[in-house]
Amino acid sequence: MPVHNADIAAIFEEIADLLEIQGANPFRVRAYRNAARTVGDYGRDLAGLIAKGQPLPKIPGIGDDLAGKIHEIAATGRCSFLERLHRELPAAVTELLKIPGLGPKRVKTLYEQLKVQTLPELQAAAQSGRIRELAGFGEKTEQHILAAIGAQASEARRFKRPVAAQYAEALAAWLAGVAGVERVEVAGSYRRRRETVGDIDILVAARSGSPVMQRFIGYDEVRDVLAHGETRASVMLKCGLQVDLRVVEAAAFGAALHYFTGSKAHNIAIRKRAQERGLKINEYGVFRGENRIAGETEDSVFAAVGLPWIPPELREDQGEIEWAMRAPLPKLVERAELKGDLHCHSRASDGHASIEAMALAAKARGLDYLAITDHSQRLKIAHGLDSGQLLRQMAEIDRLNEKLRGITLLKGVEVDILADGSLDLPDALLGQLDLVVGAVHSRFDLPPARQMKRLLTAMDHPHFTLLAHPATREIDRRPALELDWLKLIRHARQRGCFLELNAQPERLDLFDIHCRMAKEEGVLVAINSDAHKEADFDCLDYGIGQARRGWLEAKDVLNSRSLAQLRPLLRRTM
């Protein structure tokens, strides 16, 4: 069975969780967490390189011990160290980590003080009121735990987009090489660039007699064949991801691609328009009576109902059809239109590369400018910079700008927004920077009204430029803050500052709906990588997907502007 980078990353993340539950050295825990993030986002197939006999590339944060584990996982799909940790802890304890808001520290407390080992035991403890009595929990946390258990029971497992991509793209490429296959597309929510994916829909155009169906159900990573026919099949991969395959003739490929891309609500609205015109639309084409009048391309399907082609990211029945009826749709932002990145880290705080290395990596990806925004002193776990360290970094950036060609570095900081809304560094220092990126990294549990006041106060600071990952959510790990988004966005407009769309795939924060709100209110959004290593600049693609789902055009994106256009906007906030 092939081993993907996502598989290796998942093992390292689980090791970190179990070590933290055991109370292991925090630096050891952090090493595994960083390794999980690095490997999961790494652009090359590590197991594939090892299988070809090639040496493992030098990867930041991956020393000999972790490299050895990568070799073991690539060769066997297993990790003996993880198996040892499982033997040392009750197997069900790791299931508790899947409940949002229950990190390893809280799981450790529940395990040690209440002897909670399973989800039923966790639910019983919450229902009996015992959890609220623990230090650091409280009644509100107890209710959140109960709500999360209920939500988990009713929802199917979803995969973050980078994880789904490793399986979907590999399988699609494999099917493309089967005899008789003319075209392969991954459809569904994956094509609509949703931030998480429940299952994968693959559409194939193939000539009669192609063995594509047999090759599909015989794929090495298939665990179970759920359904199998001449033109459709469903399988469950060993990773738990369901994949549905549909084989169609070329003449119907466009109609099938539209149908299986969805969303369901969008498709219903399109079918209603067809019915009003005496037409019928399904996955086989557009029909007038028994005659198929369109279906080979998606363009022909939309044209048949009097519409232009609508980008997949907009197909949610959230006004895209009505808009397309009266005016040209937005020209959605593309990755090539980003001129720079306004949020990244170096090894001065919790990054893994030098400032120069990060600059060269950004330049190699077509960026003209890069803001260095290491953490401020409050975030000790990330080795945040104090005033003296930041001043020295600013001098280093000046020296590098004299040396570098083809990219300009901007002086910035990711400053902690404290609970009262004040910033974590003195005004005199913040005023010397090109931009100040404010972020919440603590006290996520403040009541909504206080949390709003905290953010609005921070944004009112005379040197505040950009609110980073505004909702503070981490997908599947930490819920979003409860905010009055319209009030927040309008305050940013009044203040003249900006909002970030953080492109890290575990964040993707702003949400798509808030991107659209910002667009409508005239607040520019910065699509930033929050890069901690060179490869993280590739995450900008995920940010672009989220921005497109939020209807953003290049004109709505702060860092689509040239440096000459950007500088006056940054000075306006300082």
Pair 488, 552 in one domain = yes
Whether the Cβ atoms of residue 127 and residue 146 lie closer than 8 Å to each other? yes
Predicted confidence (pLDDT) at residue 548 exceeds the cutoff of 80: yes
> With bands split at pLDDT 50, 70 and 90, how would you rate the model's confidence at 156?
low
Pair 171, 256 in one domain = yes
Mean pLDDT, range 415-427, rounded to an integer = 96
User: Mean pLDDT across the chain, nearest whole number?
Assistant: 92
Query: Which runs of consecutive H residues, i.e. helices, occur in 277-386?
Result: 298-304, 320-326, 355-364
Predicted confidence (pLDDT) at residue 155 exceeds the cutoff of 60: no
Pair 296, 365 in one domain = no
Q: For Cα atoms 506, 508, 512, give the angle at the middle one, nearest 5 degrees.
A: 145
Mean pLDDT, range 212-229, rounded to an integer = 92
Give the span between the Cα atoms of 183 and 175, in whole angstroms.
9
CATH number at residue 76: 1.10.150.110
Pair 209, 227 in one domain = yes
Last residue of a domain, one of 304, 326, 348: 326
Predicted confidence (pLDDT) at residue 157 exceeds the cutoff of 90: no
Predicted confidence (pLDDT) at residue 412 exceeds the cutoff of 90: yes
CATH number at residue 199: 3.30.460.10
Pair 395, 458 in one domain = yes
Whether the Cβ atoms of residue 67 and residue 560 lie closer than 8 Å to each other? no
Residue 382: closest CA among 349, 405, 335: 349
Predicted confidence (pLDDT) at residue 417 exceeds the cutoff of 70: yes
Pair 418, 552 in one domain = yes
Specify the pLDDT at position 61: 83
Specify the pLDDT at position 568: 95
Q: HEC states along 363-419?
A: HHCCCCEEEECCEECCCHHHCCECHHHHHHHHHHHHHHHHHCCCCEEEEEEEEEECC
Last residue of a domain, one of 326, 354, 379: 326
Pair 505, 395 in one domain = yes
pLDDT tens per residue across span 63-96: 999 999 999 999 888 899 998 988 887 666 777 7
Pair 9, 94 in one domain = yes
Predicted confidence (pLDDT) at residue 327 exceeds the cutoff of 80: yes
Specify the pLDDT at position 346: 96
| Whether this model's pTM surpasses 0.75 | yes
Mean pLDDT, range 137-156, rounded to an integer = 76
Which H or E run contains 520? helix 512-521
Specify the pLDDT at position 107: 85
Q: Which of 80-94, 205-219, 316-330, 491-505 shows the lowest per-residue confidence on average (mean pLDDT)?
A: 80-94
Q: What are phi and psi of 250, to 5 degrees?
A: -60, -35
Mean pLDDT, range 107-120, rounded to an integer = 84
Pair 221, 282 in one domain = yes
pLDDT tens per residue across span 334-391: 999 999 999 999 999 989 899 999 999 999 999 999 999 999 988 777 678 999 999 9
Specify the pLDDT at position 563: 98
> With bands split at pLDDT 50, 70 and 90, how would you rate the model's confidence at 185?
very high
Mean pLDDT, range 7-19, rounded to an integer = 90
Predicted confidence (pLDDT) at residue 59 exceeds the cutoff of 60: yes
Give the span between the Cα atoms of 147 and 144, in whole angstroms.
5
Predicted confidence (pLDDT) at residue 1 exceeds the cutoff of 70: no
Pair 164, 150 in one domain = no
Task: List all residues 6 or more positions away from 441 whose beta carbon is below 8 Å from its beta carbon.
Answer: 378, 379, 416, 472
Work out the burial of residue 107: count CB atoms within 10 Å of its CB; fewer than 13 is exposed, 13-18 middle, 19 or more buried: buried
Whether the Cβ atoms of residue 315 and residue 262 lie closer than 8 Å to each other? yes
Tokens of 155: 């929802």
Residue with tokens 């109609």: 255
Tokens of 203: 């559409």
pLDDT tens per residue across span 462-478: 999 999 999 999 988 88
Specify the pLDDT at position 574: 63
Structural domain count of the chain: 3
Q: Range of 29's domain? A: 5-154
Last residue of a domain, one of 326, 349, 367: 326
Pair 175, 145 in one domain = no
pLDDT tens per residue across span 495-521: 999 999 999 999 999 999 999 999 999
Residue percentage of the chain with pLDDT more than 70: 97
Pair 401, 544 in one domain = yes
Whether the Cβ atoms of residue 178 and residue 148 lie closer than 8 Å to each other? no
More confident residue, 569 or 44: 569
CATH number at residue 375: 3.20.20.140
Specify the pLDDT at position 570: 95
Mean pLDDT, range 553-572, rounded to an integer = 96
Mean pLDDT, range 482-494, rounded to an integer = 96
Give the span between the Cα atoms of 448 and 145, in whole angstroms.
18
Specify the pLDDT at position 140: 84
Specify the pLDDT at position 97: 76
Mean pLDDT, range 114-135, rounded to an integer = 86
pLDDT tens per residue across span 237-260: 988 899 999 999 999 999 999 999
Give the span between the Cα atoms of 310 and 280, in whole angstroms.
19
> With bands split at pLDDT 50, 70 and 90, how would you rate the model's confidence at 20?
confident
